[in-house]
Amino acid sequence: MKPYQSVFRDETKLDINYVPYKLPHRDRELRLLTEFFSFALQSPEKMAQRVMITGDVGTGKTVLSQRFGADITREASKRGINLRYVHVNCREYRGSLFLILQHAVSVFHPNFPRRGYSAEELLRILVQMLDEENVHVILTLDEFGSLVEKEGSEAVYKLTRLQETRQNKPQRFSLICVLRNLKEIERLDASTRSTLQTNIISLEKYSRQQLIDILNDRVSLAFNPSTVTEDTIDLTAELAFSENGNARFGIELLWRAGKYTDADELGTVSPECVRKAVSSIVPAMRKTDLASLNFHEKLLALGTARLFKESQKSQVSLAEAEQAYAVVCEEFNVQPHSHTQLWKYLQTLSAVGIIETEVSTVAPRGRSTLIRLPRIPARELERELCALLEKQGA
């Protein structure tokens, strides 16, 4: 027998710290960022730039700035320009200016003594080091809100106004501040805020289709060919979309789904594996919700669960669900209810969060209702429903 081959080609490509070369649907923002820093590839000593990147969770703020940092330093070194990119997550340093600067200094002098200096002194020392080495630094303060929260206006003021106390000297410091929402800097005083807010790049939430593109790209890097189906990607994108367009959620789900696939030696990552992955993250099925369904709602849910268990699709039509329901009715020896009633049952199933429905207008015969089972593994749903129906019948 052939040994089982993992679906993964390189799972590190799904790691949260991996920075892909291509960022689908962020080209425009990447170009804009590069544009803001075009001076740094010519005469970085002449200017100091400040840019703010905002956007909701998982919209690619961190990865965009890191991609930019890697690209621009590579380009600078080709041109013989001393440019460094330093990315600091302020939250990791508890929002403390002192710890953030200590880290920045250690990038240039790893053995610099950790004690004995104030934040202000560290800032001065850092600039001195940059002067000595004739380097311009683009410092990204990721999760910037945490610095604002801890240190308030003064620290930010020190960073942004650094240059003004060094009239006619080379500029050493540019800043990229990354935050989810401009509300996080509301407590800064007006003048500090205005020095930051001149160049804002705001990242919009990803659409379903954009998430599909991002996931497809990642799948081709991380998985072996043809191990992840189109329906799997479609379902994962849908779930990431309903989690606020969070690409991270989608990528993590794919990784987990791959792990479940390998654990069961299935060879193909199916929508069912994604449902298993999502139910391990969010406990979606509350048994009391299932128990509260009436008899025919349970029969419809059972038919639908079986449909998904047998197919590898991410969605089925109402007509298919109706057929599956009719088969279940036969099994339970009851007369199926009418189409109109079924439609109502479907609304209940959707209201308690078991399924999701969508009216499609692109189907060949006009409007049709599509059903998804995004969160609950079909097998688990079937098992629970059978147990409940058995109890009810007894």
Ligand X SMILES: Nc1ncnc2c1ncn2[C@@H]1O[C@H](COP(=O)(O)OP(=O)(O)OP(=O)(O)O)[C@@H](O)[C@H]1O
Where do contacts with Mg ion occur on this chain (CB under 5 A)?
A: 62
60-79 residues in contact with ligand X (CB under 6 A) are: 60-63
Q: Shortest Cβ distance from residue 17 to ligand X (Å)?
A: 8
Question: What track of x and - describes contact with ligand X for positions 170 through 199 (by CB under 6 A)?
Answer: ----------x-------------------
Kindly state the smallest distance separating residue 22's Cβ from ligand X, in Å: 7
Q: Which of residues 37-56 bind ligand X (CB under 6 A)?
A: 55
Q: Which is nearer to ligand X, 85 or 325 (CB)?
A: 85
Taking residues 19 to 38 in sequence order and writing x for each that binds ligand X by CB under 6 A, - otherwise, the string is -x--xxxx------------
Closer to Mg ion by Cβ: residue 19 or 281: 19
Per-residue x/- marks for ligand X, 89-118, CB under 6 A?
A: ------------------------------
Q: Which is nearer to ligand X, 234 or 272 (CB)?
A: 234
Name, in order, each residue with C-beta under 8 angstroms of 47's C-beta and a sequence gap of 6 or more.
Answer: 39, 40, 171, 174
Nearer to ligand X, 247 or 371 (CB): 247
Q: Note whether 57 binds ligand X by CB under 6 A.
A: yes
- Distance separating alpha carbons of residues 149 and 155, to the nearest angstrom: 11
Residue with smaller CB distance to ligand X, 60 or 336: 60
58 binds ligand X (CB under 6 A): yes
In angstroms, give the least distance from the CB of 221 to Mg ion. 20
291: partner contacted, choices Mg ion, ligand X, none (Cβ within 5-8 A by kind) = none
Among 104, 122, 147, 247, binds ligand X (CB under 6 A): 247
Nearer residue to ligand X within complex by CB, 179 or 324:
179
Output the smallest distance, CB 60 to ligand X, in A: 3
With binding defined as CB under 6 A, does residue 150 bind ligand X?
no
Q: Which C-beta is closer to ligand X: that of 11 or that of 382? A: 11
The residue nearest ligand X at its CB is 60
Q: How far apart are CA 124 and CA 118, in angstroms?
A: 10
In the complex, minimum distance from the CB of residue 63 to Mg ion, in angstroms, rounded to a whole number:
8
CB 354 within 8 A of CB 290: yes
Q: How far is the CB of 19 from ligand X (least distance, A)?
A: 7
The CA distance from 146 to 150, in Å, is 6
Give the residues lining the site for ligand X (CB under 6 A): 16, 20, 23-26, 55, 57-63, 180, 214, 247-248, 251
